[in-house]
Structure 1
Amino acid sequence: MSNIDLLGRRKFIAGLGIAAGAAMVAPAMAVSEKADGVKWDKEVEIVIIGSGFAGLAAAIEATRKGAKDIHMFEKMSYFGGNSAINGGLFAAPGTPMQKTEGVKDSVDRMVNDQLASGRGVADEGLLRHVASHAVEALQMTLDAGSEFHPYLQQLGGHSVARTYQTTVSCGAGITQPLFKECKRIGVNTHNRSKFEGFLVGAKGEVVGVKMRTNYHFGEDQPGKVLNIRAKRGVIMATGGFAQNVDLRMAQDPTLTADVGCTNAPGATGEGMYEMFRLGAIPTHLAYIQSGPWASPDEGGFGYVSNYSIFNLPHSMAVSRTTGKRFMNEIADRKTRADAELENRDEKGNPVPPLLITSFKDSKAHPNTEKVIKYNVGWKFDSVEELATHFGVPLAGLKAQIAEYNGYVKTGEDKQFGKNMTKAAGKYIEAPFTVVRLWPKVHYCQGGVKVNTKAEVADSFTGKSIPGLYAAGEVCGGIHGVSRLGSCSIPECMVMGMTAARSLMKV
């Protein structure tokens, strides 16, 4: 690695096929430099870039392992990153609530579910590492004060119910308590601080970072760039690139600016780019996941997403042109998103399908009231009223409801093989709650390649880049083609904790 000139490394990204010259939301891409002769503005023990699940968990775990001077940097004005607005869903095997509810689960079972969703290219070693430590990460959230609903959910692609959800139905129910814990234990936090590149030692090791202060996202940059030395190392927890339209279109031309996105605006990928420049291996960049539970009637993640995730196991998704089901409502995300995208008219225009739930069952989720209040969902007193409102063939819809209710009664879905465990006793009957479904870009499975120590692999040497660790959505290859819902929080937190342990050498 020491024999490779950094300028040569910067050319590396041009050969990736990922829009090397693509315009970013930010005005300029970061550029790393050799540290020789650099004047250090500050020297700290540990640098963490990013304040989402991964960065927060890393900071807490590093402190627990003896670190005294941790500095966490966030480029936006608020802390929590994209994690703060995610669904707040946390999957883990062998949890206390599973034992209470009599759910039999194991690390092997969770890993096998994820491998099936990953279509044969997921990293079993990383999945097993995360699943094996997921309960530890869950406990960290509880210790910090996170609160969860007193029931488990079974999300699409999971063979059993293993998912906790925060009582506020979003990731802030975890990021805010973790951030408060960081402040309590003395982690130094800096917002409006943009990563501008690595500072690299004579042997290719990461010895520090350049950080721009007083950064205002999307505006001219008035702040000063500081050279910060990291004595133990740097943890990159900068998230995905779902808001970088040029980069995602380079992987999938259909993911244009017209396609909705659930992510926060800062999910633009500069940290990932710069690790590529340094020599990190790009992995699975083309695997970009769309959330099949999203609504075309609201922006971002919205209220419908968590409403749908909760209700899909005991609901019926139908085509508006036929009134018939077209998918297993709790298949993995890719299977469902692909099926939803096929709902179009004869001219190819989208005809978002409907998710139909009995109101008495849907209202068990706190978002139901908001979905109806803000006109992104509807309540109907009869099937005739529902069919008329959306122009659905009444005869076809009535026949489908009767057929589906038969599956609820027998516990066997002969149409699509849906697991009917969570649908037991929950018939589709009036009054109904209805929302429209249409996928939104949600998660990037691709990023830099890491190992089970959260070390970043170096494409030039085949070894790990010294002093550099990464955790969370900025990493790639873990989930394969399709990530199962509620598996991102445990991944981010476990790998953040792992990075801290590796860095602290424990």
Structure 2
Amino acid sequence: MNKVDFLTRRNFIKGLGATGVAFAAPGMANAIVADDNIHWDDQVEMAIIGSGFAGLAAGIEATKHGCKAVTIYEKMAVYGGNSAINGGLFAAPNTPLQQQKGIQDSVDIMVADQLKSGRGVADEKLLRHIASHARDALQMTIDAGAEYYPYLQQLGGHSVPRTYQTKVSCGAGITQPLVNECRKLGVKLQNRSKFEGFILGKDAAVIGIRIRYPYYFEDENSGKLLHIRASKGVLMATGGFAQNVNLRMAQDPTLTAEVGCTNAKGATGEGMLEMFRLGAIPVHLAYIQSGPWASPDEGGFGYVSNYAIFNFPHSIAVNCLTGKRFMNEIADRKTRADAELACRDSAGKPLPPIMITSYAHAKEHPTCENVLKYGVGWKFDDLQSIAKRFNIPLQPLQQQVDEYNAYVKDGEDKQFGKSMAKAKGMYIQAPYTVVRLWPKVHYCQGGVQVNANAEVLDSNTGKAIKGLYAAGEVCGGIHGVSRLGSCSIPECMVMGMTAARSILGA
């Protein structure tokens, strides 16, 4: 039943509106239509659901454009959502640091890299919009107090170094400064506030939201329902659904509860589902990305992830069954994750591969110390010890190391075509550090379809749903089959900033 159909039934259901609202049709059970006598518990100009990169950037941008009443509602007890525990890696083209280091980059080059990774189904218009404004978003984080290392990384699938790394090696190095900036500007933040549904006006526009407050995660009876009026618009910045095992298995049956996940517990997708009930277009839900840099020896994102991301360019990934490399260590995420998942023992059971790095190079990354301290990585004095520990045939392993070091010397990887630019002079030599690799569910490419104004599109009309905007991982179709690492933060922030401007007509 479309919006027009159920709105014509308002007189029939008006008798249900003792609280000033009438519930919509069964397919939209959590959406309600406001009657004239509805009691609003609070009124804001702009309501933002989710306090990650997208929501925080939107709050800051809205206040800069004159919005006087912005509230960010966060489901969990702490702010930052999944963004706070991500890798803190930010990709942007044409940055001052690139110029300082003589790196030639452009919006066109960055978009071309992403389109290649997206395997023909990424949204070029949105990718170009994001890349064109990534520097502005990066500057917003710096202005708020985020600190980055004075070097750039070249992550898998990127043709040049363009990725900044926060000094704390996680997304909290960005979300915490943004939270502080929001408070400084007068943006209201309210935690333990679970989004329960939309409130629609007589013309089917989104005019408000229902919030359960105070909400205690997984206690669905906690708190009470509040009706919040949003006079200018509602921004959904609720993130992905990687922790919703039933939903992700509906898209990919192999992603069972036994498959690890890097996401925060609150990444369960309710906001996305409510937009679908309202008529939003679902896009690419089956494209769920696993991180090839994750470790089976620790939970969540852990220490190994950023360690591996930093060290992949000058390390080798080895199949323990053969003692040989099996992939380009800086290929895009899907290529590497698929290659890792193919590493099996003679019985077909998972056999996590290892990554070997010279300790002299590995220790340059700040997480190396914790990787070794907490036993999720190991230091070895010779290849014999590595072979014995992981039951690897020694002779092929020694041959592989010698062969790879020849590639370092010549500047050409004849096995997998890996770019050796970031490996120049960085030989695999003792002592070594080793971590195990196995993909974890990390990012959902699928979600609701939005346009370049961050407006949510209606599946019936193809037009924008009035009053409703979305930004960040809750949106789908932007990256296609596989997202390049370090491109989620610019996407979230640019689209959050875009939504704020669209809502305010700025």
TM-score interval for Structure 1 and Structure 2 normalised by the shorter chain:
over 0.9
- Aligned residue for 2:32? 33
Count of residue pairs brought into register by the alignment? 489
1:4 Cα deviation from its structure 2 partner: 2.9
- Secondary structure of 2:4 counterpart: coil
- Aligned residue for 1:216? 216
1:35 Cα deviation from its structure 2 partner: 1.3
How far apart, in 2, do the equivalents of 1:10 and 1:93 lie?
47
Query: After TM superposition, which residue ranges in structure 1, 4 or more long, deviate above 6 angstroms?
Result: 6-9
- 1:33-58: CA deviations, max 9, x gaps? 11124221111111000000000000
- Aligned residue for 2:195? 195
2:24·2:31 contact (CA, 8 Å) conserved in 1?
no
- 1:121-150: CA deviations, max 9, x gaps? 000000000000000000000000000011
- Aligned residue for 2:69? 69
How far apart, in 1, do the equivalents of 2:222 and 2:431 lie?
57
1:377 aligns with 2:377: yes
- Secondary structure of 2:489 counterpart: helix
- Aligned residue for 1:306? 306
Give the alignment of 1:154-173 within 5 angstroms. Answer: 154-173=154-173
* 5+ long unaligned stretches in structure 1: 13-29
How far apart, in 2, do the equivalents of 1:222 and 1:480 lie?
38
- 1:225-271: CA deviations, max 9, x gaps? 11010000000000000000000000000000000000000000000
How far apart, in 1, do the equivalents of 2:126 and 2:151 lie?
28
1:11 Cα deviation from its structure 2 partner: 2.9
How far apart, in 1, do the equivalents of 2:300 and 2:429 lie?
30
- 1:313-358: CA deviations, max 9, x gaps? 1100000011100000000000000000000112221100000000
How far apart, in 2, do the equivalents of 1:81 and 1:67 lie?
24
Q: Tell me the amino acid that sits aligned with residue 204 of structure 1.
A: A
Q: Tell me the amino acid that sits aligned with residue 31 of structure 1.
A: N
- 1:79-128: CA deviations, max 9, x gaps? 00000000000000000110111100000000000000000000000000
- Aligned residue for 1:504? 504
Q: Tell me the amino acid that sits aligned with residue 5 of structure 2.
A: I
Q: Tell me the amino acid that sits aligned with residue 193 of structure 2.
A: S
Q: Tell me the amino acid that sits aligned with residue 4 of structure 1.
A: D
* 5+ long unaligned stretches in structure 2: 8-22
- Secondary structure of 1:466 counterpart: strand
How far apart, in 1, do the equivalents of 2:409 and 2:400 lie?
14
1:451 Cα deviation from its structure 2 partner: 0.4
Q: Tell me the amino acid that sits aligned with residue 394 of structure 1.
A: L
- Secondary structure of 2:97 counterpart: helix
- 1:410-442: CA deviations, max 9, x gaps? 111110000110000000010000000000000
- Aligned residue for 1:19? none
How far apart, in 2, do the equivalents of 1:9 and 1:106 lie?
49
1:340·1:438 contact (CA, 8 Å) conserved in 2?
yes
2:281·2:449 contact (CA, 8 Å) conserved in 1?
yes
How far apart, in 1, do the equivalents of 2:5 and 2:81 lie?
34
How far apart, in 1, do the equivalents of 2:118 and 2:244 lie?
23
Q: 1:11 aligns with which of 27, 30, 41?
A: 27
1:451 aligns with 2:451: yes
How far apart, in 2, do the equivalents of 1:5 and 1:403 lie?
68
How far apart, in 2, do the equivalents of 1:220 and 1:497 lie?
32
Q: Tell me the amino acid that sits aligned with residue 42 of structure 2.
A: K
- Secondary structure of 2:308 counterpart: helix
- Aligned residue for 2:102? 102
- Aligned residue for 1:113? 113
Give the alignment of 1:68-467 within 5 angstroms. Answer: 68-467=68-467
1:8 Cα deviation from its structure 2 partner: 7.6
How far apart, in 2, do the equivalents of 1:403 and 1:3 lie?
67
How far apart, in 2, do the equivalents of 1:172 and 1:190 lie?
18
How far apart, in 2, do the equivalents of 1:312 and 1:126 lie?
29
2:24·2:30 contact (CA, 8 Å) conserved in 1?
no
Q: Label 1:466 to 1:220 Cα distance change in 2 as closer, same or farther (>3 A).
A: closer
Q: Label 1:58 to 1:10 Cα distance change in 2 as closer, same or farther (>3 A).
A: farther
- Secondary structure of 1:87 counterpart: coil
Query: What's the % identity of the aligned pairs?
Result: 70
- Secondary structure of 1:164 counterpart: strand
How far apart, in 1, do the equivalents of 2:207 and 2:5 lie?
17
How far apart, in 2, do the equivalents of 1:260 and 1:492 lie?
24
- Aligned residue for 1:26? none
2:24·2:32 contact (CA, 8 Å) conserved in 1?
no
